[in-house]
Amino acid sequence: MDFLENGEAIGGDDVNCYLLAYELLTANSINDIVDLNTFKDLLCKAIENCICKDITKYGVEYVPMPSVIFTGKYMEFITPEIKSLIAAEKAILGKLQMEDGGFDITWKWYTQYPDEYEQARTWWRPRITVEKLLFNEVAI
């Protein structure tokens, strides 16, 4: 919690780890380790700081979008600002979906290893597709 209190920016994967910790603490009624209300407030701020506000980058660049976090869970962390970003990402999902129904990665490796890149892309596409499909069902 000290790290979150410092207000340093963290990435989507880190935010998801903190959200899982919060979920486990609340699910097991563990209230004596941290103040869960304060923890929740800090997580809301961390999520708002993490999600890219420039919606022109959604689906074009490798930026943390709401779908990295909100795939049917953690709905209590959606603030009014996040609601508008969720709506913006949902508005472009149809343009990003490929003919096969899946979603592609939004990054490229500019290296000499094209075969390895294609393998990584093949492995990541299903995860991203599941995230986007679950996210699209999120009611805001």
Q: Please name the residue that has the structure tokens 């790290």.
A: 3
User: Both tokens of residue 99?
Assistant: 């003919």
74 and 119 in a single domain? The answer is: yes
Q: 88 and 104: one domain?
A: yes
Q: Rounded distance, CA 63 to CA 27, Å? A: 30
Four-point Cα dihedral 36, 40, 46, 52, nearest 10: 160
Between CA 86 and CA 65 the distance in angstroms is 8
The residue whose two tokens read 């499909």 is 133
User: Among residues 50, 66, 86, which one ends one of the domains?
Assistant: 50
In a shared domain, residues 37 and 88? no
Residues 83, 43 share a domain? no
139 half-sphere exposure, CB direction, 13 A CA radius? 0
14 and 56 together in one domain: no
How many domains in the chain? 2
Q: Quote the strand ranges of 25-135, DSSP E.
A: none
Domain-ending residue, one of 16, 33, 50: 50
> Same domain, yes or no, for 137 and 72?
yes
Are 136 and 82 in the same domain?
yes
pLDDT at residue 126 in the model:
94
Whether 95 has a pLDDT exceeding 80, the answer reads: yes
pTM given for the model:
0.84
Is pLDDT above 90 for 92? Answer: yes
pLDDT for position 2: 82
Same domain, 43 and 63: no
What are the tens digits of pLDDT across the range 58-84? Answer: 988 889 999 999 988 899 999 999 999
Would you state the structure tokens that stand for residue 65, as one six-digit string? 């979008």
95 and 116 share one domain: yes
Name, of 37-41, 107-111, 117-121, the range with top average pLDDT: 37-41
Domain check: are 14 and 73 in the same one?
no
Under DSSP, is residue 46 helix (H, G, I), strand (E, B) or coil? helix
Dump pLDDT digits (tens) for 10-65: 888 899 999 999 999 999 888 888 889 999 999 999 999 999 999 999 988 889 99
Assess whether 94 and 65 both reside in one domain. yes
For 32, the domain range is 1-50
Same domain, 11 and 22: yes
110 pLDDT more than 80: no
Q: Dihedral (C-alpha) 82, 84, 86, 87: value to the nearest 10 degrees?
A: 170
